[in-house]
Amino acid sequence: MDRLASIAENYKVYLVTGVIEREGYTLYCSVVFFDPQGCYLGKRRKLMPTTAERLVWGFGDGSTTPVFDTPIGKLGAIICWENKMPLLRTAMYAKGIEIYCAPNSDDREVWQPTVRHIAIEGGVFVLSAGQFCLRKDYPPPPEYLLTEWEDELQPDSVVAAGGSVIVAPSGEVLAGPNFEGEGLLTADLDLKDVARAKFSFDAVGHYSRPDILSLIVNERAMKPVTFTSHK
């Protein structure tokens, strides 16, 4: 965390990055946020680990679904396949998210229409950082067997092909997708494009029907043990 804070401060950037967080004896898939002064803003714990991840990671709760109001826009994140959860997306739209970060390890082509749809649905800029790695980035066998096709892999075999992309609220792709290797994507974001998009479609505003459809979000920390005191 100290190293990440230093990177944010040295480069004067808002840094949003995935980490594996440990609390007690439980691991969580999380995203952490830092401002350009290197100050830690907060975290986002993944609510629903994807498929076999549930064997390893704990479940987040509604207490870590922040949207940070920053000088560059309202910043938040949804992790990997959580982006397929429409109610979670709706909750983030209701918090006013404008710069929607979607770190991801799904390098399939189907991910691209997913994030383009989110950009249009939410009237948001989507920044999706796709994981790129080679077999040699992981421990060698037999300590670590990547998949059932481990025998076919060479050290330089691509095992996660990336697909990072930046999408405008209109659904226009501003940068990427990058399937060519590690890289840096940049784009100029005009927040007026958010207002323009929501003028036509605002999922939690003028295009909603709360008399028919509504959502309740529990933001309390769901602790397994609560201590009370008579003092």
Express each pLDDT in 177-186 by its tens digit. 999 999 999 9
How many CB atoms sit inside 10 A of residue 208's CB? 16
Residue % of the chain over a pLDDT of 70: 100
Q: What is the pLDDT of residues 198-211, one digit of tens each?
A: 999 999 999 999 99
Which pLDDT value is given to residue 32? 98
Furthest CA-CA distance within the chain: 64
pLDDT tier for residue 23 given thresholds of 50, 70 and 90 = very high
Residue 148 neighbours by CB under 8 Å, 6+ apart:
none
Contact present, 73 and 98 (Cβ < 8 Å): yes
- Compute the mean pLDDT over every residue in the chain, rounded to the nearest whole number: 95
pTM of the model: 0.94
Write out pLDDT tens, residues 131-145. Answer: 999 999 999 888 888
Cα–Cα distance measured from residue 105 to residue 128, given in angstroms and rounded to the nearest whole number: 10
pLDDT confidence bin for 148, thresholds 50/70/90: confident
Q: Identify the pLDDT of residue 142.
A: 85
Q: CB neighbours (10 Å) of residue 94?
A: 15
pLDDT in tens, 51-99: 889 999 999 999 999 999 999 999 999 999 999 999 999 999 999 999 9
Dihedral pair phi/psi, residue 192, rounded to 5°: -65, -25
Whether residue 18 contacts residue 29, with contact meaning beta carbons closer than 8 Å, is answered with: yes
Q: Taking Cα atoms as reference points, which of 63, 100, 70 lies closest to residue 221?
A: 63
Cα distances (Å, whole numbers) of residue 93 to 22, 28, 43, 80, 100: 28, 24, 18, 17, 9
Average pLDDT over residues 150-170: 93
